[in-house]
Chains A and B, each alone.
Chain A
Amino acid sequence: MTLQTLNIGKANLEIFSATLMELAEKDRNILAVTSDSRGSGKLVPFGVKFPDQLVEVGIAEQNLVGVAAGLASAGKKVFAVSPACFLTTRSLEQIKNDVAYSNQPVTLVGISAGVSYGALGSTHHSLHDVAVLRAINNIRIVIPADNFETREAILAASESNKPIYLKFGKKAMPNLPRTQEKFEIGKASTICEGDDIAFIACGETVAPAYEAARILEGRGIGAEVISMHTINPLDKEAIIRIATKCKAVITVEEHCVNGGLGEACASLLMQEKLFIPFKIVGFPDEETITGSQTEIFNYYGISGEGLCQSALKLLDM
């Protein structure tokens, strides 16, 4: 066995708030803008330590994003923080016009993303955000998988002069291995290598993909796991390389199967004439079941065992 079990790190959310504190200490232009979301964004200590750098707009997501765009245009480095479900739906027009179209360097931080609020029901799920934002020009979509990628993504965002959407959940995440300790927006990270099947996953689904790779390894099947942390711009080279190398590809995402990572990969592979066995694992177009994030993942096959079964089926084994 070469693939190790993973040790549990912190919630990506905690890494986000710690990293932002670090940045704010060095640069007074770093601002967190919240919509009564400082508690759920783990930003209470930030607000206590840097009261002038936390802008609270109340429960008003449209205004949150408009104000963030205005602040950014005047030279502030703005992190607009709100639950992903509200941020990318209630304020979609502000994201489209005030941030993306007006090219303001706002980092939109979607917290408690996907089904992090699983038991609270669909009002609080964000399984649509990648699809809607992929259809908007000039916004990068970054979904870090673990603590390392989260920290690197926040640091990269703070130095960026372009709009970015970042999202993560609130559950403690395992620290993933990677072939290179390097992070670059738009460049996928290889978590482990294999030639039989590839899992192209993003965010909090990378860990279950890695678990599947471990199980498959025990059966003599080599699985490559890729953290496709940037959905836009997509690392096309990495996808083409993997699809050329492996016999089959499975994409995994905490998102509706319509319009997300899977469809982005499928579109690329078809247009590159790479017709290999392919499956999109995500949330079907149905009313999402409720429960904890883990329970929901298990139900939809986003687990080590579930993804292993998908792989065996796709490989006709």
Chain B
Amino acid sequence: MMQKYTDLELQVKSVNYRKSLLKYIKMANTGHTGGSLSCTDILNVLYNDVLNVSPEKFSDKNRDRYIQSKGHSVESLYVVLADQGFFPESDLETICKFQSKYVGHPTRKVNGIEFNTGALGHGLSISAGIALAAKKDNVDYKVYTLLGDGELAEGSNWEAAMMAAHYKLDNLVAILDHNTLQISGRNRDVCSPYPIDEKFEAFGWSVISVDGNSIPELREVFKKIPSEHEKPTLIIANTVKGKGVSFMEDVAKWHHGVPSDEQYALAMNELDHQYEKLISM
């Protein structure tokens, strides 16, 4: 199948998404910066290369579904949806402002968003329900959900994981934004979720690991779904929290945080350099 974008074009998009989300976080004076930056490439590949959704197709019953379980990284989702044409990007100037529908977690009031999420540990159950409906209706859309690694401590994930394997939901794809950090520090120090792969495999899932900030690797991995017949798939996307901005990378305190004017200028400058480097390739 002809791809709409080259890897390079998507890489350029990622830089632009990162610049945009930082701009709107700065404007809103609030936001989940680190996690939005870590999952940007995942959302980029999903919306530009994988999901059969568009503003025109959003009411199509056979559209793929994307449920953002780690709802706090909504800024990343907003800029990607704006780029897809779900709403004008200028709407994002209102993020978290009084009466704006662009609140700090996904809501269905925003065109392109399937479910209201933000409380952790909900997306996998919802997605399993949608995937089960597809099986019952014998239609072939897929359901993708983005989980945070800190989120795996929520017990409801494991209820859903058990049930998804029981119902052989091979149309269900969970992507773990494995940036290894949560608000209090390293996952392994807060309350270790490891070994994540073995746990999901033991629950009956097919597990694949990938560099979650590599556009080519992500594109390849999504082509392989379902990874195993009659098994739900977990993609462990190894990412860097704060990806793209050197002083935010792999630093827990950027879980949420607004850059100062100086930091913002520095961040934009770094992203501009990445952009120039890419377009000169």
Contact = CB atoms under 8 A, between A and B. Distances in A.
Given A97-B119, A98-B122, A62 B159 contact: yes
A70 B126 contact: yes
Interface string B57-96: 0000100000000000000000000000000000000000
Interface stretch (B2-10, B24-32, B109-117): B109-117
Nearest to B125: A66
Given A73-B115, A73-B130, A57 B136 contact: no
Contact of A70 (B129, B137, B156): B129
A101 interface: yes
Contacts of B116: 97-98, 101-102
Nearest to A71: B129
A79 to B, nearest CB: 14
Contact of A73 (B126, B156, B162): B126
Contacts of B134: 74
Contacts of A97: 116-119, 122
Q: In terms of DSSP, what is the predominant structure of the interface of chain A? A: helix
Nearest to A28: B136
B136 A52 contact: yes
Interface in B142-201: 155-156, 159-160, 162-163, 166
B115 A67 contact: no
A247 interface: no
B68 to A, nearest CB: 13
Nearest to A73: B130
A103 interface: yes
A296 interface: no
A98 B125 contact: yes
Interface in A66-110: 66-76, 93-94, 97-98, 101-103
Contacts of A76: 133, 136
B122 A60 contact: no
B155 A62 contact: yes
Contact of A102 (B108, B132, B136): B108
A58 interface: yes
Contact of B125 (A31, A94, A102, A103): A94
B155 to A, nearest CB: 7
A62 B137 CA distance: 24
B122 A71 contact: no
B108 A69 contact: no
Contacts of A93: 119, 122
Contacts of A62: 121, 125, 155-156, 159
Contact of B128 (A67, A75, A94): A67
A101 B134 CA distance: 23
A68 B116 CA distance: 15
A58 B130 contact: no
A57 B129 CA distance: 10
The 3 A-B pairs with the shortest beta carbon distances in the complex, nearest first, are: A70-B129, A66-B125, A74-B133
13 contacts: A60-B156, A62-B121, A63-B128, A66-B126, A67-B128, A72-B129, A73-B114, A73-B115, A73-B129, A73-B133, A74-B130, A76-B136, A94-B122
Interface of B: 61, 107-108, 114-119, 121-122, 124-134, 136-137, 155-156, 159-160, 162-163, 166
Given A66-B160, A69-B115, A71-B132, 6 more contacts: A66-B124, A70-B128, A73-B129, A76-B136, A98-B125, A102-B115
